[in-house]
Amino acid sequence: MFKGSNVALITPFRENKLDEESYIKLIHFQIKNGTNGLVPAGTTGESPTLSHAEHERIIDLCIQEAKGKIPVIAGTGSNSTAEAISLTVHAEKAGANAALIVTPYYNKPTQEGLYQHYKAINDRCGIPIIIYNIPGRSVVDMSVDTMARLYELKNIVGVKDATGNLDRVDQQLKKMGKDFIQLTGNDDNALEFNQRGGIGSISVTANIAPKLCSDFQKFSISNDVNEKKEAKILDKILQPVHYSMFVESNPSPVKFAAKLMNLCEDEVRLPLVKVTENTKVIIKKALQSAKLIK
């Protein structure tokens, strides 16, 4: 169920309030263009600056608008275990197909602390859990051994790997087997990630290039020689876009790109700010090179 191109949805704001109209527009834009799964309220959705009510609302809206057409993997992570449990329980009751839970940031838990955090959430819910391992932002790196321990629990099904270390794909495949879901959190390494045993991505770029990303993912995990060649062609087209999405802190660049495509405003919440003029030039050129804008 959880494979291919899954979009880490941005959360549109207007005058610092949720822009529900634009959010619904984004969801249908994704479904129309072949996205395989929706990930609301993740860190790309600026979850750290959402109120609890807003967090729950965008999960509810996403499930409501998806209407079961594609899976909804709700972002329910927090550096507070109690808060992560509360958000995950809400997502399950709302009808989410899975939960994406980031490793706790700032606290710097030990490997045993990471294990107990996820186990506590696992024990309180009944939906699949995807671990989000992103040491560059959370400052902790879940080891393969800790992940293997967690995989023995009833609800832990896979990982969104944003370590940037492609050797992890091989190590996790060897330790947990092919049924352990491996999704990359780095758009730029998706081709090799899938070649090594991954089955998809949770993508920032998919917010603005859903068709290119979904086609790329479909071809990259295909056994057909011609489709694998097509995946390489699409990867080259997408690389400048991937790069431009991280010139400044995510999701400021992708929100500016979304504004260029008339999908939503580029408003972000402090401490994030809108991108600089120099970055705007880079993003415009990247979108033009991929024929996403004229």
- The pLDDT, as a whole number, for residue 85 is 98
Domain limits, the chain: 4-222
Q: Does the annotation count 259 as an active-site position?
A: no
Based on the residue annotation, tell me whether 132 is a catalytic residue of this protein. yes
Q: Which of 3, 160, 218, 280 is catalytic?
A: 160
Per-residue pLDDT reduced to its tens digit, 74-99: 999 999 999 999 999 999 999 999 99
**pTM of the entire structure?**
0.97
Give me the count of residues in the chain: 294
CB 218 within 8 A of CB 237: no
Tokens (6 digits) for 232: 């390489």
- Choose the catalytic residue: 132, 151, 218, 280: 132
The per-residue pLDDT for range 125-159, each reduced to its tens digit, is 999 999 999 999 999 999 999 999 999 999 999 99
Mean pLDDT confidence for 22-35: 98
Topology adopted by domain 4-222: TIM Barrel (3.20.20)
Question: Is it the case that residue 1 has pLDDT exceeding 90?
Answer: no
DSSP class of residue 66?
H
Residue pair 216/241 in contact (Cβ under 8 Å)? The answer is no
Q: Are strands 37-39 and 73-75 parallel, antiparallel or unpaired?
A: unpaired
Does residue 251 have a cis bond before it (omega within 30 degrees)? Answer: yes
Q: How far is Cα 12 from Cα 265, in angstroms, rounded to an integer? A: 7
- Rounded CA gap, 240 and 90, in Å? 38
Tens digits of per-residue pLDDT, 236-258? 999 999 999 999 999 999 999 99
Residue 275 has pLDDT above 90, yes or no: yes
**Residue environment code for 111-125, b if the CB has 16+ CB neighbours within 10 A, otherwise e:** eebbbebbbebbebb
- Mean pLDDT, residues 48-55: 97
**Element holding 226 (H helix, E strand):** helix 225-244
Residue 176 one-letter amino acid:
M
